[in-house]
């Protein structure tokens, strides 16, 4: 057998495992309702949800993106250590547990449910749902490109890039339409374990390549590209402005309030479960990324002259050149696990929003749950198809696309905080929140896209003008957006209609009951 | 928001809440700001200093908040009479 045959066999075994886990009897709900399809009404316990959240947090950036990042930018990657701890201990522990509390108490299904219950329903619900959906499409697309490249190169092109995309898409459609969030969470449990083993196995294998001699690895890099060992890195990425804003605003604060985060928080058995996950999931997240340094630097040790996208693919190249075929297969499947674990969760969450917030909210208000579930499954198929088709263009703009998602989602943070954290005299209104989101989005997109040129099929191009001062755009776009969003939201809120006092009292009363009773 | 009658949840209530927040802030600043002050190509057990500093403080951060978080949880259960 040729080496790529082994890779395909292992990927087939992985795929069968995931389909079995994602459609087995443990994923079946006793009731046929939206409440038990898009989220788990009765709630998952600690271990399942822990691994579900842990795996669901990882995208293709885990494998092979993080290794490519070390190859290209060196220890600038340490910025990721910040979010792997800040997100769990700050956002999940403090805000995620409150989302669980309110979700359980008032039976929310989508992120918009929580926000409009406080600020008031109507067109605001549709605005939020469409805004969040538009925000998530770039991230979903970016997530599947890396694993597809990994699978294609791992099989020496015998599975083409589009074929790899189709395999992931079909698998996700099968288990998400079959089992909704239960299928998503159970497969993510398996994927979380697989990718964790794959990353550590890859690091240990890399150590064997360099005879366990980290000092030689360090000295080789110091001699050939010493900028990899300090900030800002050889390409100047991790400037002080970037370091101080990106890990906090560009990732930590938005990562846990992605729609998939809401679905997991709503699916917790109780508030204590989410709090315990907040306290402990950082150990998994951090441990996933620690080995990337050894892998990325080993790739540099063997292939020190790769540039641009080739640098991002340095780890797949290392595998293809030096790894035994069966081992490469395990890592390739680990990459698929990383991409699919977030693609399925995003698909489920976005299908929930389209079904509950748009279809049930505006198009067909009084249908049965059975009807809404059928519509939800159609949305799952459409969303996966859209993601796969978009990724089929082989976007070279993955980082930019993830930046767009981050910049859009983080603008929702003031609204989420206003609902979940009673703050005394501070006051926000629906108009204030909306104005803040729109202006924050405009500013952050100007920062992200200003000066970029986008070719249109080779016969024309779109040039985005630079409207912000260069000194501003050194900061992360999400931070810039929030810097305009929050003051504007506060100012507009002073002059516009406050939320219904009864809704505020009901929601904050529920939070007081859960979080405010201690001496 | 009109929160008259509701407590301000940004203010830590018990000693363990304050210790959690204090530990969180110190470790956060050590990773966030402190890393900028150890930005040298120095090996620590063969690994770059920036990597060891940031991940080392990250681990300290996790263990400390886990400890204080468990104390807060016990306090909550006691307050609820469970």
Residues of B in contact with A515 (CB under 8 A): 9
For residue B5, being part of any structural domain is answered with no
How far, in Å, CA of A330 to CA of A64, rounded? 13
Where does B1-82 have alpha helices with state H?
15-32, 49-80
Note the helical H segments in A411-498.
Answer: 413-420, 430-449, 477-494
CB A132 within 8 A of CB A412: yes
**pLDDT of A517 higher than 90:** no
CA–CA distance, A68 with A329 (Å, rounded to integer): 19
* Segment A341-370 mean pLDDT: 92
Chain B CB contacts of A253 below 8 Å: none
Residue A467 lies in a domain: no
Q: Helices A97-106 & A413-420, crossing angle to 10 degrees? A: 70
Print the domain residue range for B67.
19-80
CB contact under 8 A, B13 and A423: no
Q: Is the ipTM of this complex over 0.95?
A: no
Q: Which of A203-212, A389-398, A449-458, B19-28 has the highest mean pLDDT?
A: B19-28
Mean pLDDT on A112-125? 92
Q: Give the C-alpha separation, A445 to A401, whole Å.
A: 11
Measure CB to CB from residue B58 to each of A85, A226, A293 and give the nearest one.
A85
Chain B interface, mutation test: which of A78, A416, A498, most B Cβ atoms within 10 Å?
A: A78
Domains contained in chain B, number:
1
Residues of A in contact with B79 (CB under 8 A): 517-519
Q: Which residues partner with B48 through β-bridges? A: B43
Interchain pair A85, B61: CB under 8 A: yes
Distance from CA of A215 to the nearest CA of B (A): 4
Alpha-carbon distance A380 to nearest alpha carbon in chain B (angstroms) = 36
Q: Do B41 and A511 touch (CB under 8 A)?
A: no
Chain A contact set for B40 (CB, 8 A): 230
Domain annotation covers residue B42: yes
Residue B11 lies in a domain: no
List of long-range contacts for A23-26, beta carbons under 8 Å, 24+ apart? A23/A174, A23/A175, A23/A178, A23/A179, A23/A183, A24/A186, A26/A182, A26/A186
Q: What is the mean pLDDT of residues A274-295?
A: 94
Q: What share of chain B is helix, strand, coil (3-state, %, to 5)?
A: 65, 5, 30
pLDDT at A24 over 50: yes
Residues of B with CB under 8 A from a CB of A: 1-3, 5-10, 13-14, 24, 27-28, 31-32, 35-36, 39-41, 43, 45-48, 50-51, 53-55, 58-59, 61-62, 65-66, 69-70, 73, 75-76, 79-80
Name residue, tokens 């040298």.
B40
Question: Which residue among B14, B35, B69 sits closest to A518, beta carbon to beta carbon?
Answer: B14
* CB nearest to A75's CB, from B32, B50, B76: B50
- Domain at A18, CATH number: 1.20.1730.10
Inter-chain touch B13–A511, beta carbons under 8 Å: no
Q: pLDDT at residue A519 above 60?
A: no
Residue A317 has pLDDT above 50, yes or no: yes
Q: With 0-12 CB in 10 A as exposed, 13-18 as middle and 19+ as buried, what is A337?
A: buried
Residues 6+ apart with CB under 8 A from A374: none
Picking from A253, A270, A298, A422 by the largest number of B CB atoms within 10 A of its own CB, the best residue to mutate is A422
Nearest CA-CA partner of A249 in A79, A418, A133: A79
Q: How confident is the model at residue B5 (pLDDT cuts 50, 70, 90)?
A: low
In this structure, is residue A392 part of a structural domain? yes
Over residues A305-310, mean pLDDT: 83
The whole domain housing A318 covers: 3-413
Give the rounded distance of the alpha carbon of A108 from its chain centre: 21
The larger pLDDT score, comparing residue A403 to residue A64, is at: A403
How many distinct structural domains can be found in chain A?
Answer: 1
Q: How do residues A150-186 score in pLDDT, each as one tens digit?
A: 888 888 889 999 999 999 999 999 999 999 989 999 9
Half-sphere exposure (Cβ direction) of A383: Cα atoms closer than 13 Å = 30
Does residue A72 sit within a domain? yes
């Amino acid at each position: 057998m040729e080496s790529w045959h082994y890779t395909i066999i292992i990927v087939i075994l992985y795929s069968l495992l995931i389909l079995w886990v994602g459609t087995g009897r443990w994923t079946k709900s006793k009731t046929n309702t939206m409440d038990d399809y898009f989220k788990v009404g009765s709630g998952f316990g600690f271990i399942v949800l822990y691994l579900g959240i842990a795996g669901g947090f990882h995208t293709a950036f885990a494998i092979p993106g993080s290794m490519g990042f070390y190859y290209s930018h060196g220890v600038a990657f340490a910025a990721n250590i910040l979010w792997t701890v800040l997100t769990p201990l700050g956002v999940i522990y403090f805000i995620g547990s409150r989302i669980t509390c309110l979700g359980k108490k008032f039976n929310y299904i989508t992120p918009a449910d929580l926000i409009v219950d406080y600020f008031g329903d109507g067109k605001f619900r549709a605005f939020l749902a469409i805004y969040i959906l538009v925000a998530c499409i770039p991230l979903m697309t970016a997530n599947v490109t890396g694993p597809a490249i990994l699978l294609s190169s791992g099989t020496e092109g015998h599975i083409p890039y589009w074929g790899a995309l189709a395999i992931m898409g079909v698998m996700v459609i099968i288990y998400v339409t079959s089992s909704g969030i239960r299928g998503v969470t159970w497969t993510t449990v398996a994927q979380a374990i697989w990718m964790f083993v794959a990353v550590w196995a890859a690091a240990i294998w890399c150590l064997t390549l360099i005879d366990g001699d980290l000092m030689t690895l360090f000295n080789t890099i110091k001699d050939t590209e010493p900028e990899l060992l300090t900030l800002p890195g050889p390409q100047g990425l991790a400037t002080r402005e970037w370091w101080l804003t990106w890990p906090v605003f560009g990732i930590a604060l938005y990562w846990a309030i992605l729609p998939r985060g809401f679905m997991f928080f709503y699916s917790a058995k109780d508030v204590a479960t989410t709090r315990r996950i907040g306290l402990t999931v950082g150990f998994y997240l951090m441990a996933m990324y620690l080995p990337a340094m050894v892998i990325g630097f080993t790739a540099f040790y063997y292939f020190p002259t790769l540039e641009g996208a080739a640098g991002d693919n340095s780890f797949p190249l290392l595998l293809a050149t030096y790894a035994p075929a069966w081992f490469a297969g395990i890592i390739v499947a680990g990459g698929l696990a990383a991409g699919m674990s977030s693609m399925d969760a995003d698909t489920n969450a976005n299908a929930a929003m389209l079904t509950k917030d748009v279809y049930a909210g505006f198009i067909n208000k009084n249908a049965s749950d059975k009807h809404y579930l059928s519509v939800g499954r159609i949305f799952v198929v459409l969303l996966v198809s859209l993601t796969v088709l978009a990724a089929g263009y082989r976007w070279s703009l993955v980082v930019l696309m993830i930046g767009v998602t981050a910049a859009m989602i983080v603008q929702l943070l003031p609204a989420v905080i206003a609902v979940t954290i009673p703050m005394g005299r501070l006051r926000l209104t629906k108009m204030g929140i909306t104005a803040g989101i729109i202006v924050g989005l405009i500013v952050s997109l100007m920062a992200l896209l200003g000066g970029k040129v986008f070719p249109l099929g080779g016969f024309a191009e779109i040039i985005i003008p630079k409207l912000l001062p260069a000194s501003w755009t050194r900061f992360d776009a999400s931070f810039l957006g929030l810097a305009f969003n929050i003051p504007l939201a506060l100012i507009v809120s002073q002059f516009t209609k406050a939320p219904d006092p009864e809704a505020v009292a009901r929601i904050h009363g529920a939070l007081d009951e859960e979080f405010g009773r201690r001496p | 928001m009109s929160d008259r009658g509701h407590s301000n949840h940004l203010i830590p209530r018990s000693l363990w809440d304050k210790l959690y927040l204090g530990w969180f802030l110190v470790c956060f600043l050590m990773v966030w700001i402190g890393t900028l002050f150890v930005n040298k190509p120095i090996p620590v057990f063969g690994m770059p200093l920036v990597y060891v500093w940031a991940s080392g403080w990250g681990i300290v951060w996790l263990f400390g908040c886990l400890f204080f978080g468990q104390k807060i949880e016990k306090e909550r259960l006691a307050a609820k009479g469970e």
